Structure 1
């Protein structure tokens, strides 16, 4: 009886039911869209942290670089021999540690021994500035003077020679700077190379801990036309290219990967590392592990994903803030409005059914049965609105993913010495180059999770219950006499 009457009443009031369902659907669709976009923002931010900082781990340990002492400025210095051979090519490499102050390799073992640390591995970041080109020697020429020109000592007044002048000559040099990362070949699942995949060739083997081999980043190899099997030199040392690596997302800030021992030799940093990558035993205890490392190993800076997330700026950060604050409050406001509209429309519909409910009560229907009837109709409207809202929300999320709007993110300094640049900092040119390398474009997506769908279904049921409760309360207060007055 309940089902038959419910179906008949909903069929009679299709327009009213559709209006209530659409109101709920719009609110639910907006909630799904905002949640999906927020999830996409979080994924994009994770990609930024991995591609800009290489943080494929839970945290990193670094040490801030000390200020230059004495007369040492830390500025690059290159020495060339300006030989007389015109056009002879000359080249010089300057290799410096990049980022923070060097740490002893033994510190990696101490960090790994801390409570809550699953594993730790050290890496050495280097910056190589290569200057190559040639000098061209000028030629001295003497100019002859005309008549009346005073000659040299004892010379006559005619046919004398003037002061010799150097004509021609000069220098042409090209400056190229790239980054090098020393990798612990026995633990490549942790560290700079962990966020990249080998697309051509092979990666390092454990037997190549001190071999003169290298893995190049895709962008750097393409720019310089390097391929697997070729050899290139750093400070005169030849390295064979065994693989080309592409980052999992975004652009890699490392151009060349070398075995750690080779990088230490190049950088004159024996048994030194600049960064310690740490993986925690439990991702929920990262803050506790961070505090323990900072307490037990003084002078170091521990940086987590949360710390880096606070330094991300650009359109990604702006969009993320909008989705989190404005988007969330907007969806809540629309949802509340949809619930109120559904409740008011249901109550208004009950008011127009005075004769119907009064007659049913006169025939013996108790108030609870009338209330159940109204709530049942509202629940069907809510479920219909939920289904429409889920369809609209999933469709909107699919459109966002299909369009994939590009967002720009830039990682600022965390104050831990883990930034770019060599000793002495550098002028605006170096800072601009650093900013360019620390900027990445991310395509936004809007993944819809099962949790979001479940939330939408729950909201649909809640909306139906709220509307039904208000309408049912109004219907339960009606008396049979109301029906008789409406007939009269």
Structure 2
């Protein structure tokens, strides 16, 4: 009887039901689109951070910034020996990025802290190679240099007069980055943000082997292929793999085993960065505080710290989606619920004679209330279905258009630590990354939409049910013509 009467009433009041359902659909659709776009923003931001940190990395530990010692300039010095005129000269200088290092034992200390699941150390280097040659100039004597002037000898002190012409120097400076990675733990750190598309990655037995993995862009620029050799400070390294970044820029141009990087930089048992994975992503702040408290002289930077430094249209759009968009969707949803409730209550007032007659025939107030709430819930579910359809269409449209957003990492992020915290951080500072925006719709968002639809129906039904419960059979008798 309940469902029969419900079906007949909804058919008879199709226009009113459609108005209520449409209002709820608008609010629900807006919630879905805003949530989906916000989720897409988070994914885009994660891509930017992943290109800096590497997959699975929750935070980095670096040496706290310190003032340079007296006499230290931090600028590279190149020395060239005397060679024959025009002979090519070459000099390499391997420098630790940021000139700040930690002891390798810091990795063990960090791993022993509460909340740390895994940690691995790395050494970030910058190599500057200078190639060129010096040319000796030629002395040319003045035409009048040998002539004796009146009242004296020619020239000053009898020396020939002239000038040096030609000569000079022509040098080419090539700078590239090298990252020393722990081949025993390759599941953490910057190399995980790239995929080896040609060749292979390091073997665990190659802890001190003269092998290298090259970034795809760098390999293309230098025309490197598998099996080729690259020379760093006079040492040849065989290219065993080509790595392509999943997103953004690569962390380094070349990757070599950590021990080899330490040898090149004359930094035995030294690292620049400890990459840390937490046991619980919800406790990252607590883990950060623990590391900073127990390991002095370090700076801990989390992905949230990096996210605060991301600027550009990605940051602006993310702020709009999380602030203006969410509050707008909430306001529209509340308005839709109120309108649905008022329309349902108004509909009940127009059905006074109907409900009064039903009560006169023996219907209890509770049964009348349940009937009104049932109709409102069905309207809510219809509105939810429409809202989900419109929301999915909106999210699909955003993904299909794929508007491009820009993201830029601030060069001063994280104080002294971030300026040298990882190879990707320094390279990406001041660079703009183009990120295609998508709007993925998760099962959680759909569940939220269904919940809102039911809630909207219940709220609307509560308005109408309360109004219907107060009707008396006498009200219907007064309206009988």
Normalised by the length of structure 2, the TM-score is 0.91
Mapping for residues 65-144 of structure 1, pairs under 5 Å? 65-81=65-81, 83=83, 85-86=85-86, 88-99=87-98, 101-144=100-143
352-361 vs 89-98, greater mean Cα deviation: 352-361
The answer on whether the counterparts of 2:55 and 2:192 sit within 8 Å (CA) in structure 1 is: no
Aligned residue among 454, 473, 477 for 1:461: 454
447-456 vs 368-377, greater mean Cα deviation: 368-377
Normalised by the length of structure 1, the TM-score is 0.89
Mapping for residues 472-487 of structure 1, pairs under 5 Å? 472-487=465-480
Aligned residue among 322, 338, 341 for 1:340: 338
Secondary structure class of the residue paired with 2:90: strand
> Is structure 2 residue 433 aligned with structure 1 residue 440?
yes
CA distance in structure 2 between the partners assigned to 1:301 and 1:246 by the alignment = 30
CA distance in structure 1 between the partners assigned to 2:93 and 2:123 by the alignment = 16
The answer on whether the counterparts of 1:144 and 1:162 sit within 8 Å (CA) in structure 2 is: no
Secondary structure class of the residue paired with 2:119: strand
Deviation, 1:273, is 0.8
Q: Any stretches of 5+ residues in structure 1 without a counterpart?
A: 156-160, 423-430
The answer on whether the counterparts of 1:78 and 1:92 sit within 8 Å (CA) in structure 2 is: yes
Deviation, 1:475, is 2.3
Aligned residue among 254, 258, 271 for 1:260: 258
Deviation, 1:83, is 4.8
Aligned to 1:45: 45
Deviation, 1:103, is 1.1
The answer on whether the counterparts of 2:92 and 2:130 sit within 8 Å (CA) in structure 1 is: yes
Aligned residue among 181, 189, 209 for 2:207: 209
Aligned to 1:33: 33
Secondary structure class of the residue paired with 1:242: strand
> Cα gap change, 1:451/1:434 in structure 2, threshold over 3 Å: closer, same or farther?
closer
Deviation, 1:456, is 0.7
RMSD: 2.7
386-395 vs 6-15, greater mean Cα deviation: 6-15
Mapping for residues 376-455 of structure 1, pairs under 5 Å? 376-412=374-410, 413-420=413-420, 435-437=429-431, 439-455=432-448
Deviation, 1:433, is 7.1
Deviation, 1:19, is 1.1
The answer on whether the counterparts of 1:59 and 1:279 sit within 8 Å (CA) in structure 2 is: yes
CA distance in structure 2 between the partners assigned to 1:98 and 1:151 by the alignment = 66
> Cα gap change, 1:293/1:216 in structure 2, threshold over 3 Å: closer, same or farther?
same
403-412 vs 89-98, greater mean Cα deviation: 403-412
Mapping for residues 166-245 of structure 1, pairs under 5 Å? 166-245=164-243
31-40 vs 308-317, greater mean Cα deviation: 308-317
The answer on whether the counterparts of 2:419 and 2:426 sit within 8 Å (CA) in structure 1 is: no
